[in-house]
Homo-oligomer: A and B are copies of this chain.
Amino acid sequence: MSNSIVDLHYELALASRMLANEGVLDAFGHVSLRHPADSGRYLLPRARSPQLVEPADVLEFTLDSEPVRPTAEKLFAERVIHGCIYAARSDVMAVCHHHAAAVLPFCIAGVAIVPVFHLGAAVGEDIPFWDQRDEFGDTNLLVVKPEEGRSLARALAAQAAVLMSHHGATVVGKDVRELVSRAIFMCQNAQYQLQARLLGNVVPLSSGEARLAGSINGMPNVVGRTWEYWTMRLADAGRLPQRPPRGVRARNSARSRHASATSAASRRRKRPGGG
């Protein structure tokens, strides 16, 4: 396995745990990355709660969501969500499916999530609402058949996220950091939208504001800041994934990127009196 793939496995475990630590994922939900060297494959962990995912849990799948190498591991029943979206959206490099507490009330009441603060614009003005029942009648609501996955991908269309009736949401990104920030800001947006509704009228951003604010989460002085912050919080929770052993060549990639947060955490543990 090349060092860049070793790094990606770590990145995927890190993103899974980060999203769990921020309340987007819980016992359920999963994150995948498209294979950087083969756009016909994607990386997804074996079926395991995201806060427990280690780099060694990551497996490779075809876009038909079949494991590339035979495996005895338990697999996520809903992995077609990932395969079908990667097949339909060449711009998407990262996918997260989740049941976050913040979005579920909207999935149940059938109310649209609209951008209500600047960072909420990260998922765009229009988050489609997909009801599996429309096309498939009564199901157990899991997206397990290829046609269910394709239907969801069609509903997602060119958007950043899709709500799933009585189930949760699926979010996409052009890389893992865009995905993580979109998933987190969408949950915050949902929470604020619900509470604003309790106060009175919910006034969303204008179309112009939503468009302009939509790229704040990708600004260089923002993306580094949020990644360091979420990594620090995961380190404080004692939940950073394990580093796999790796060659010398990759020294300057993922490891150094997290260096400041990691050393903050170890510093924290060393200080006896906080000083």
Contact A118 B192 (CB under 8 A): no
Residues of chain B contacted by A207 (CB below 8 angstroms): 138
Contact B198 A198 (CB under 8 A): yes
Give, as a whole number of angstroms, the nearest-CB distance from A192 to chain B: 4
Residues of chain B contacted by A229 (CB below 8 angstroms): 26-27, 49, 51-52
Residues of chain B contacted by A51 (CB below 8 angstroms): 229, 232
Contact A199 B199 (CB under 8 A): no
List the number of copies, as a whole number: 4
Residue of B nearest to A111 (CB): B199
Assembly CA distance A87 to B52 (angstroms): 40
Q: How many residues of A contact B (CB 8 A)?
A: 95
Contact A105 B196 (CB under 8 A): yes
Q: Does A171 contact B (CB under 8 A)?
A: no
Contact with B along A124-136 (1 / 0, CB 8 A): 0000000001000
Contact of A235 among B26, B140, B237, B274 (CB under 8 A): B274
Stretch at the interface among A33-41, A62-70, A72-80, A154-162: A72-80
Assembly CA distance A140 to B177 (angstroms): 20
Residue of B nearest to A227 (CB): B27
Q: Does A104 contact B (CB under 8 A)?
A: yes
Q: Does A225 contact B (CB under 8 A)?
A: yes
Q: Does A141 contact B (CB under 8 A)?
A: yes
Contact of A272 among B99, B228, B269 (CB under 8 A): B269
Assembly CA distance A87 to B219 (angstroms): 28
Residues of chain A having any CB pair with chain B under 8 Å: 26-28, 47-49, 51-52, 74-77, 99, 101, 104-111, 116-119, 133, 137-142, 166-168, 188, 191-203, 205-209, 211-213, 215-216, 219-221, 224-226, 228-230, 232, 234-240, 242-243, 255, 260-269, 271-275
- Residue pairs across A and B with Cβ atoms less than 8 A apart, 14 shown, are A27-B225, A52-B228, A52-B261, A74-B225, A104-B195, A105-B199, A108-B199, A111-B200, A118-B142, A118-B167, A166-B209, A197-B199, A242-B271, A242-B275
Nearest 4 A/B pairs, CB to CB: A138-B208, A240-B274, A49-B229, A105-B195
